[in-house]
Structure 1
Amino acid sequence: MALCAVVIARTPFVADLSAFLPASADARQQVLIDQVRSGAPARTLMMGITGGDAAQRAAASKALAAALRNSGLFEQVSNGENDAWADIGRWVFERRYTLSPAITPERFQADGLREAIDETLSLLGTPAGALVKPILERDPTGETRRIAEALIPAGAPRTQDGVWIGRSEPRAVLMASTRAPGADLDAMQRAIDRIRADFAPLAAQGLALQLTGAPVFAVDSRAGIEREVHLLAAAGTVLMSALLLVAFASLAALGTALLPVASGVAAGIAAVGLVFGNVHGVTLGFGSTLIGEAVDYAIYYLIQARGHGGHGDGWRHWLRENWPTVRLGLLTSVCGFAALLFSGFPGLQQLGVFSIAGLLAAVATTRWLMPVLMPDGARGLGLRRQLGRGARRLFGWLPRTRAIWLALGIFAVVAMVARGGIWGTELASLSPINPALLALDASLRADLGADDGGALVAVQAADAEAVLQRAEAVGTRLDRLVDANVLAGYSSVARFLPSLATQQQRRAALPAPDALKQALDAASVDSPLPAARLQPFADAVEQARQQADDTPAQAAAGALAPLVNALLLQGPDGRWTALMPLTPADPAKGVDANRVRAALAGLDGVEMIDIGVELKRVYQRYLGEAQAQALIGAGVVIGLIALSLRSPRRFVAVCQPLLLAVLLTMGACAAIGVPLGILHLIGLLLVVAVGSNYALFFDLLREQPQPDDDTLASLALANLTLVLSFALLAFSAIPALSAMGRVVAPGALLALLLSAAFAPRPADRSA
């Protein structure tokens, strides 16, 4: 235990959803998993400022944005102020002749120049004239305007008083991306605390802050899981202690009974920490459920070892009569959970390691430590005598109800068949995020015009140059879909960082000074903008001809860092990925995936990803794998029971209650319309593991003409503690934990009642 304490002290605890994502995935799923773990969505925070009047909100937006930019914690803070984009604007303006898709040799001939200059001059009398006039002599062909139009996202935020404002309610809106990766929850917590601290002076003016985004979800989830785990552990310990005190009327017995629980939880956490390097909060929450099963072993020993002379020999009687059954029950539980070790999902693997290590430690404590501390079991009687008598009456009556249980089992199967799909298909079923926070996130996302993650195109290649060339080819085809109103737009890193080949091609299209002068002279005949005023334009073209190529490394080290880091990624294997988020023409209908895939057909290294569909595929794979492993685990348990009993009649008597308990639990969920998920499945596996202990004890009792009250009391008390501990779990605010509680509590109770109902009758025993 001292070694376990050392390991636990050095083990970090995590709460991000990535532990429940596959460790290995196909290309499309891997893109999503990388984004969940460390991509731009995992680093983006959205803010709303409400209260006051429009001028107050605008001033507050500017003050908060300035404070956050100076903090050094954020890569980018956007609130609609043009100054925030000044560096990117300079990048675009200085490289306009390598960024503009209109750059061709024909554009710099007399006719091309005349047409471009006339188009630019026609804007001077429009609202855009204020932006065109200052750069007219340096960019008469309007390349900067053309690039800027392409970079403006579809559905950009509304602007008032120089800042972004909401569409759905009066508020100023901001967006910030952290420098730290989204998986670093401590860094996310610091960023969130900094935002709230910087907003505190503004709150004194009557303004309120709305804050959401993936970092908020992750930090709140971690805090919620930690809070729930502590609450459940405390409540479970108090409840179990109260029950054991009532049962044993002895503080010494209570302390001894809690030892297997403590050793099991400690060993489970330490084992997971050693194997995985961290412990997920859901795994730790699952550990609180181990209280219910680990205390069973203590109850069996403390009750079954007493009443055999009282001279320190009770433990020998327990070892001879009851230990083989406990040992077999342990083996069935371990074999059941061992199937989880082969999962492709780290979260399931952690649950498997925790369960096996915890149960082994709990049983080892019961087997080797408790005989030393209490050789004759618990001395106090408490209410165990009454419990034993009540259990005798109940267990004696239950065999008369066999037909009823069989009929209910048939009805359960009918209910599941009638319901159709009883398994849920949403990965969000594992999420503890508050629905109100999700609604706020959707509202701010709509105000900001932020990509809702509906669909994107992932372009992959072995090196950066190849991936940029492929992104350009994809962009050409997506432009046709935009023209056809299939898409409202898309984002592409190639718009502000073209491939080297494209940069060189556009640079080669720029004319030499003498050729440009001749073309300008011809193009400016009868033009209100004479060629003599366009010398700055000629100088800029010559400067662009001499300009060095821009590389991803250069771009990521400068003003474009937020954009490049969000849309151009290099994986651990060295391969590059360009992400191209798509904006649907009709947000209500989403992106037409079939039209997009048809348009991109034939392009190498290109995948169109419908995020909702892919997440469903991840969950379905997760569920299918867990179902297969649960069946394998159950099969191993059944095989172990068959090998140990070596009697078809005894085998049926032991396995029949387990099968019915699982069927009735699943049938009840189907009848009330509760879709089953991953953690429900783990709960059913636990029902089989625990139920096998009850069924094996009733099989042991077949050899006794009159089963003693102590054994019956131990079974009833063990079941009561387990059911109550999981009933507590059922009220957890964390869906993953409440799902287990709602399955295991009724399932374990049914397993005991059914084991008693199908136990051999006296006539069967005499036969």
Structure 2
Amino acid sequence: MTVASDGPSRSRRVLVLLIWLASVLAGVAVISRTHFSADLSAFLPASPDPHQRVLIEQLQAGVASRTLLIGIEGGKDAAQRADVSRALGKAMRASGLFDQVQNGDNSDWEESGTFVFDHRYQLSPEVTPDRFTVEGLRNAIEDTLSLLGTPAGNLVKPLLERDPTGETRRIAEGLLPATSPRTDHGVWASRDAPRAMLLAGTKASGGDLDAQAAVIARVQEEFAKATQGLGAGAPKLLMSGAPVYSVTSRDQIKREALHLAIIGGIVMSGLLMLAFASPRALVIALLPVATGVVCGTAAVSLVFGHVHGMTMGFGSTLIGETVDYAIYYLIQARGASVPGTGWQRWRDLNWPTVRLGLLTSVCGFAALVFSGFPGLAQLGVFSIAGLVAAALATRHGLPMLAPDGASGMGMRHLMARTAGAIARTLPKLRGVLLALGIVAAGLVAWQGSDLWRARLSSMSPIKQEMSDLDAKLRDDIGASDASTLVVVQAADQQAVLRATEAASARLDALIEGGELLGFETVTRMLPSIQAQQDRIASVPDAATLRSRLAEATAGGPLPALRLEPFIAEVEKARTLKPITRADLIDGPLGAVVNAMLYERPGGGWAALIALHPGPKFDAVRLAAALSTLPEVQVVDVGNELNSLYAHYLHEAFVQVMLGALAVVVLLGIYLRSGRRLLAVCEPLALAVLLTLGGMAALHVALGILHLVGLLLIVAVGSNYALFFDQLQETGSADEDTLASLMLANLTTVVSFGLIAISDIPALSAIGRVVAPGALLALLLSAAFMHKKKTVAGVPSKIPL
């Protein structure tokens, strides 16, 4: 006689459900305070070498990471665009959100012009002892007088008697970029398009995406005010630069992850409804999924302090695996001989297999946790925490809600029969499948390392039109080249400035050789104290200068008597204190100085030299020219990123292989049979190989995330292989187990298939690998079931 059971006791139910709910709510609370990032530094080493450290600092807080390129396009005419540019520039400067806003409107620079004039003998690189010899004075005065008949004469004439040697003009020329935009109606404008231009540097760090998003929103708001009332033909706003890229990437990843979660949830809900024919079962099946995503995200936030956008997007991929646990339970726990005990039967018979599949997945992803790259480590932590949380929710939570699994039958009989037919047919095709595996192995070996040719940029969700716009705006504004960085580092400001001056002397030689059109350096506005003192020391006293001037101007159009103001200015300059950073901090020059001279996060100071490459530019020769200056580093950003990515990929390979080895060892310890171990590992290895072969045949450039996808194939497929091994060992045809495998695989393939068509390359790469790989793992697990010898009447194979 059997005695019906109501399942777990009421007190146990309440306790387990309360703990479950509290855990999820705690995770939600952590996520609500989580900072989400999308900068490339997550894919750079946690312990970088000096070159890598320079690159990371620039990506996180350098000038390029804080620079906005703004275009005002269209409208009525150039005058209207200029008016909007001036209004927008004024509003942006008043907002306090920017270090500098440049648009060709120099009205705010009048005070700085006075400062430069007053300190010209400290700032001008031409102030040397030779400059104040008789010959030097004669040549300098003649050069200045020769400009009087040119368009520059209107600027030179008012200063002639106070600055006959043209030091102010020389400083101004040095401050002009080698390539600059055209000026139209008093503001910068494109040379080949109806577009006014602005260049702005944000005060917020490039890594502070919330602040950058607020800055972008403020620009849009001020532009709307500047164009209010202009009607339908008003100019339109264009923006580009690293802040726009980062914010757009984060928003796109958030939006895409949400859409994928919604669409995937709807599709999987439809499949589960067909399988269970029960709304209650559907809701119960999705609970472990939600638990896994919440706990995975919260775990990453707690461990790393922030969550990268790609990790957040990876949550969509976790749905495809975590729902399997609920499917296994809801189908396999049904049919108990004593009502209310199905959960115990599942716990004793099937949970050990699910647990082992979970442990193999954890072993695989644990390898990523120890990666030297934060982005990869985040994926490992997220996957492990999410899978463990979903499995525990299934093991302890679902029995409280559905002690006997899902009661509705739906299409499970059909799924079981289909799975049975597959399991009977596929073992006959082992030879064909092995032959395909050999072909795939040959194709992979033939392509070799060329198969893994994707680059870091392949993970960026930025569309080509955004890249094209960025290139146009940079060309319009004549922005310095960002592909090669020259960074000077030293313990203090003065050491950095002295080393920057030494580097500048080397770069001047490259300008003469045509390799550089020019460069921008902080020492043109803030020379080292040593350089300033040397220049002032070159200036003669009043009596000496008066005597030399008399000789230098003899017979010329500018008599020495008219230059008494010049002698007074020189004498005053001899008493000036050296210029320091503090003297410039409050004016327009201060913003430029701050952008090019900054305190490093780890201590010390650094200066950035912005390059304008010429037609003969060669980064190798540039590095050679500066190689004897130990404080100066030349970083080729493109090559460095590619090198880092190659290192990243290599480390990921090592970690994945270690994870695979850990999986094999774990399976060997549990199965304690070489025959069973081979039966479980063979289909997983062949599924990975066939997936790689397919990618090679399609000429897909593989990268890091494809590798993560291969790891997911093993994680998902290990459950299939272990369940088929369990069926073989019991020698019985368990329809519920076959139906659960069929449904679990269907939901996984569909969910990853949806991800495969994502607009985000990072997610698409994973989906395109896992969708076919998971299907192959199920089919191959059925095909490579080992034959069990007949013992005491036990059949030699599953009587499906």
TM-score, normalised with respect to structure 1: 0.97
The residue that corresponds to 1:620 in the other structure is 646
- 1:298 paired with 2:311, answer no
- 1:743 paired with 2:769, answer yes
CA contact (8 A) 1:425 1:616 kept: no
The residue that corresponds to 1:428 in the other structure is 457
Structure 2 counterparts to residues 45-124 of structure 1, below 5 A: 45-51=68-74, 52-124=76-148
- Letter paired with 1:593: A
Distance 1:79 1:8 in 2: 41
Structure 2 counterparts to residues 272-291 of structure 1, below 5 A: 272-291=300-319
Distance 2:326 2:358 in 1: 13
SS of residue paired to 1:75? strand
Distance 2:700 2:106 in 1: 51
Distance 1:344 1:377 in 2: 43
CA contact (8 A) 1:310 1:376 kept: no
CA contact (8 A) 2:581 2:590 kept: no
- Pairing partner for 2:400 from 343, 366, 372: 372
Distance 2:647 2:487 in 1: 21
- Pairing partner for 1:674 from 693, 700, 703: 700
Structure 2 counterparts to residues 715-754 of structure 1, below 5 A: 715-754=741-780
The residue that corresponds to 1:307 in the other structure is 335
Query: Which range is displaced more, 298-307 or 88-97?
Result: 88-97
- Pairing partner for 2:543 from 508, 511, 514: 514
The residue that corresponds to 2:495 in the other structure is 466
Structure 2 counterparts to residues 593-604 of structure 1, below 5 A: 593-604=619-630
**How far is 1:309 from its partner?**
0.8
CA contact (8 A) 2:147 2:153 kept: yes
- Letter paired with 1:566: A
- Letter paired with 2:133: Q
SS of residue paired to 1:177? strand
**How far is 1:78 from its partner?**
1.0
- Pairing partner for 1:23 from 46, 51, 56: 46
Distance 1:114 1:452 in 2: 38
Q: Number of aligned pairs?
A: 764
- Pairing partner for 1:487 from 516, 520, 529: 516
**How far is 1:143 from its partner?**
1.1
The residue that corresponds to 1:151 in the other structure is 175
Distance 1:426 1:193 in 2: 31
The residue that corresponds to 1:499 in the other structure is 528
Distance 2:700 2:267 in 1: 28
The residue that corresponds to 2:9 in the other structure is none
The residue that corresponds to 1:542 in the other structure is 571
CA contact (8 A) 1:683 1:740 kept: yes
- Letter paired with 1:135: L
- 1:438 paired with 2:461, answer no
- Letter paired with 2:96: G
The residue that corresponds to 1:42 in the other structure is 65
Distance 1:87 1:329 in 2: 71
CA contact (8 A) 1:429 1:735 kept: yes
Distance 2:632 2:300 in 1: 38
Query: Which range is displaced more, 721-730 or 455-464?
Result: 455-464
Query: Which range is displaced more, 478-487 or 7-16?
Result: 7-16
Distance 2:104 2:339 in 1: 84
- How big is the alpha-carbon RMSD for the aligned residues of Structure 1 and Structure 2? 1.7
**How far is 1:7 from its partner?**
1.8
SS of residue paired to 2:34? coil
The residue that corresponds to 2:728 in the other structure is 702
SS of residue paired to 1:344? coil
Structure 2 unaligned runs (5+)?
Answer: 1-23
Deviations 1:636-660 (A, max 9, x none): 1111111211211111111111111
**How far is 1:310 from its partner?**
4.1
**How far is 1:251 from its partner?**
1.9
**How far is 1:762 from its partner?**
6.0
Deviations 1:680-739 (A, max 9, x none): 111111111111111111111112333221111111101111111111111211111111
**How far is 1:398 from its partner?**
0.7
Deviations 1:420-472 (A, max 9, x none): 41113421112111211110110010011102312122221111111111111
Deviations 1:312-355 (A, max 9, x none): 22222212211111111111001111111111222222111111
SS of residue paired to 1:190? helix
CA contact (8 A) 1:250 1:380 kept: yes
- 1:766 paired with 2:766, answer no
The residue that corresponds to 2:5 in the other structure is none
Distance 1:296 1:759 in 2: 21
CA contact (8 A) 1:168 1:443 kept: no
**How far is 1:282 from its partner?**
1.6
- Pairing partner for 2:581 from 536, 552, 563: 552
Change (3 A) 1:279 1:70: same
Deviations 1:261-299 (A, max 9, x none): 121112112211211222222212211222111111111
Change (3 A) 1:425 1:532: farther
The residue that corresponds to 1:527 in the other structure is 556
- 1:254 paired with 2:282, answer yes
Distance 2:715 2:583 in 1: 59
Query: Which range is displaced more, 282-291 or 682-691?
Result: 282-291
- Letter paired with 1:85: W
SS of residue paired to 2:518? strand
- Pairing partner for 1:167 from 174, 185, 191: 191
Distance 1:703 1:527 in 2: 110
- Pairing partner for 2:166 from 128, 142, 150: 142
The residue that corresponds to 1:216 in the other structure is 244
Distance 2:289 2:624 in 1: 59
Distance 2:461 2:645 in 1: 16
CA contact (8 A) 2:488 2:632 kept: yes
- Letter paired with 2:534: Q
Query: Which range is displaced more, 374-383 or 757-766?
Result: 757-766
The residue that corresponds to 1:609 in the other structure is 635
CA contact (8 A) 2:99 2:201 kept: yes
SS of residue paired to 1:159? strand
**How far is 1:535 from its partner?**
2.2
- Pairing partner for 2:355 from 323, 327, 330: 327
Change (3 A) 1:285 1:186: same
- Pairing partner for 2:297 from 244, 269, 286: 269
Distance 1:468 1:639 in 2: 58
SS of residue paired to 1:450? coil
Change (3 A) 1:486 1:17: closer
Distance 2:361 2:732 in 1: 28
**How far is 1:631 from its partner?**
1.1
SS of residue paired to 1:455? strand
SS of residue paired to 1:453? strand
CA contact (8 A) 1:45 1:176 kept: yes
Change (3 A) 1:440 1:671: same
CA contact (8 A) 1:399 1:761 kept: no
The residue that corresponds to 2:738 in the other structure is 712
- 1:32 paired with 2:55, answer yes
**How far is 1:545 from its partner?**
1.0
- 1:184 paired with 2:208, answer yes
CA contact (8 A) 2:437 2:689 kept: yes
- 1:646 paired with 2:672, answer yes
The residue that corresponds to 1:206 in the other structure is 234
**How far is 1:188 from its partner?**
1.7
CA contact (8 A) 1:157 1:448 kept: yes
**How far is 1:84 from its partner?**
4.0
